[in-house]
Amino acid sequence: MARPPVRLHASSRPQQAQEIEIGASAHNRSWLDAINGDKWRITRRIEHAPARKLRLVMPQEDEQRISMGALNPRMPTAMRWGARATVIQMTPTCPRCGGAASFALRAEDRNRMAGRGQFEYWRCDACGVLWLPDIPQDLGAHYPADYHPSLAPSELEPAIAAEQPRVDLVAEHVEPGQMVEIGPSQGIFALAAARAGFDVVAMEMDPDCCRQVTDRGVRAIHTAAPQEELPKLGPSRAAVLWHVIEHLPDPWAVLRAIGANLEPGGVLALATPNPDSFQFRAFGARWVHLDAPRHLTLIPLAALREEAARQDLALVNATASDRVGLGLNRLGWQRSFLRPPALRPDPRFAYTLGEVFGRTLGAWEARGLRGAAYTAVFVKGTA
């Protein structure tokens, strides 16, 4: 595997400093700006002209701090690789449990080809969380204008009716009350929940989606950081994230904020791609539901369960064979054989091949939580 070059060598005053050269990418520059003079106490920063490399000099005691795992996940990849390969034994640590991690796979945007580039996912050796340590700075550019497909007026009522099973999933455990939906897209579920009597507050980062949700009569808060808005709300009876948590830069902060916001007996319901699925094992970086780089974190159910338990949330229901889960499983088989862009509208032979696999294996996958996506429901302790 090709690794970006990095040189670690002693400066002219080896007793005091380590000098590290990294590539002069925009990402590395902004990373240097973010840390310069702060916790890494960089003593000197040299930029070559023409700038192909950045060189930073840090006091030697900071090397110790790096080796102790004080890793900034936004650290330049070159520095991580180089450091790991040479002196400092440094790798990203799991953003959830702090465990050691291993490089998992490198993927491109196979689904939409909205941008070029390779995206490196790492997997926690302890809890299995798979994540993208280097979130692209132009992540917004990887969401094309048609990412949230528009709905014809005649499609609205059938779409709302299709959300009813998810509403029932929540209503099975709580009476209607305040419900937070994070990432409502066009607000179809939010509208279905509102009709069932829930007082829905939607949090959405896309301004167009926010407008649509508001137009449907549902309160929408425009934010890319729900963890900052949740503490401002009164206690909620339910929180839902339908295929959203994998898109959040800090899903763990959001889960903590939800745990703090839910009232006793309140419900958290979410659905997300399943990194324990048979399809992910079979397809790896080709898997449609990896959806690099839009999916930033894939969470095994066991890790989610453990994390939820820390917020006093107990798992009461988990399935990979709900209607949406089965549909996504089918999509996984249909599209993962295709060449990029895998989500193009003109599927060919490989699509039919996937159909055959999906029909053959679908029932088996659904039985053992091997399906492409799972839905999980948690209830907050009443103690």
Chain residues 13-42 in contact with Zn ion, contact rule CB under 5 A: none
Question: Which is nearer to Zn ion, 96 or 295 (by Cβ)?
Answer: 96
Number of Cβ atoms within 10 Å of the Cβ of 274: 27
Tokens 């089965």 correspond to 326
What is the spatial distance between Cα 170 and Cα 172, in angstroms, rounded to a whole number?
A: 5
For 87-126, give one letter per residue: b (16+ CB within 10 A) or e.
Answer: ebebbbbbbbbeeebebbbebbbbbbebeeeebbbbbbee
Question: Which is nearer to Zn ion, 129 or 379 (by Cβ)?
Answer: 129
Chain residues 199-238 in contact with Zn ion, contact rule CB under 5 A: none
Question: Which is nearer to Zn ion, 88 or 129 (by Cβ)?
Answer: 129
Number of Cβ atoms within 10 Å of the Cβ of 367: 11
Q: Does 197 bind Zn ion (CB under 5 A)?
A: no
Site string for Zn ion, 55-94 (x = CB under 5 A): ---------------------------------------x
Question: Which is nearer to Zn ion, 252 or 278 (by Cβ)?
Answer: 252
CB of 92 to Zn ion, least distance (A): 11
CB of 252 to Zn ion, least distance (A): 10
What is the spatial distance between Cα 359 and Cα 330, in angstroms, rounded to a whole number?
A: 8
Chain residues 88-117 in contact with Zn ion, contact rule CB under 5 A: 94, 96-97, 99
CB of 97 to Zn ion, least distance (A): 3
Question: Which is nearer to Zn ion, 274 or 334 (by Cβ)?
Answer: 274
CB of 116 to Zn ion, least distance (A): 30
CB of 274 to Zn ion, least distance (A): 17
3-state secondary structure of 227: helix
CB of 295 to Zn ion, least distance (A): 17
Question: Which is nearer to Zn ion, 126 or 324 (by Cβ)?
Answer: 126
CB of 82 to Zn ion, least distance (A): 24
Chain residues 117-146 in contact with Zn ion, contact rule CB under 5 A: 124, 126-127, 129
What is the spatial distance between Cα 171 and Cα 194, in angstroms, rounded to a whole number?
A: 12
What is the spatial distance between Cα 144 and Cα 142, in angstroms, rounded to a whole number?
A: 6
Tokens 């004080």 correspond to 70
What is the spatial distance between Cα 94 and Cα 300, in angstroms, rounded to a whole number?
A: 13
Helix H segments across the chain? 26-35, 60-67, 77-85, 153-162, 164-171, 188-195, 207-215, 226-229, 251-261, 278-283, 301-310, 323-336, 349-367
Binding-residue total with Zn ion (CB under 5 A): 8
Would you tell me which residues interact with Zn ion (CB under 5 A)? 94, 96-97, 99, 124, 126-127, 129
